[in-house]
Amino acid sequence: MRIVLVGPPGAGKGTQATYLAKHYAIAQVSTGDIFRTNVADQTPLGVKAREFMDAGDLVPDEVTIAMVRDRLGEADAASGFLLDGFPRTVPQAEALDEILTDLGTKLDAVLEMSVDEEELVRRLSGRRTCSGCGRAWHVEFDQPSVDGVCDDCNGKLFRRDDDDPDTVRRRLEVYTEQTKPLVGYYEAQGLLCEVAAIGAVDDVTRRAIAALDGTS
């Protein structure tokens, strides 16, 4: 299976990516991991990306695309992969098509994780981060034993600026404007399948597998 996972912030893509990659025995390819690895290893692409990051600029598409191309060319991705975090835009999707053509393969499915906006705001704005160890908690779904105090290190919990409800809504607007067009792009190719990303994690995973197996 060669899968692209799309969905708004707070949809649980990272969690489902881990479970689905394990289920299908394929490589889990996260663009966040790709960036961190390239920067940490000081690869030519990592050095270039770091220059933009240090300047406070967005890393250009061509650098991101080159990193993805290198990663998908590695041995563990040859028999399948689940791509999380890329593409984010239609031009990136077109670049991915070119990469896969060069590799002599193609996507099997694009899984869209769908969640109501108000539920996403509830999920994201309820997150609390430990100032000591960085662990994430939640005021509803994953509460510490003592309110406002991390169980692991007794650090004080705080809400990150990007988890403020107004900021969350803006992030969702940006997603709709920039990433949502991917849905139409892949739907036109007959690759899109949608799953309701609500309820227990195991239930979402089962729905996702059922949707993906229906495309194979």
User: What ranges do the domains of the chain cover?
Assistant: 2-116+179-213
Domain 2-116+179-213 = CATH 3.40.50.300: yes
Q: What residues are annotated to the active site?
A: 13, 88, 127, 160, 171
User: What was the pLDDT predicted at 149?
Assistant: 95
User: What was the pLDDT predicted at 58?
Assistant: 78
How many other C-beta atoms can be found within 10 angstroms of the C-beta atom of residue 32? 11
Quick one: average pLDDT of 17-37?
Answer: 93
pTM attached to this predicted model? 0.84
Quick one: average pLDDT of 123-142?
Answer: 90
User: What was the pLDDT predicted at 3?
Assistant: 97
pLDDT band at 36 (very low <50, low <70, confident <90, very high): confident
User: What was the pLDDT predicted at 216?
Assistant: 54
| Rama region for 204: left / alpha / beta (φ>0; ψ in -120 to 50; rest) | alpha
The length of the chain in residues reads 216
User: What was the pLDDT predicted at 56?
Assistant: 78
68-115 per-position pLDDT tens digit: 999 999 999 999 999 998 998 999 999 999 999 999 999 999 999 999
Q: Is the pLDDT of residue 215 over 80?
A: no
165-190 per-position pLDDT tens digit: 998 899 899 888 888 889 999 999 99
Q: Are 127 and 171 in contact (CB under 8 A)?
A: no
Find, among 68, 76, 60, 67, the residue nearest to 97 by Cα. 68
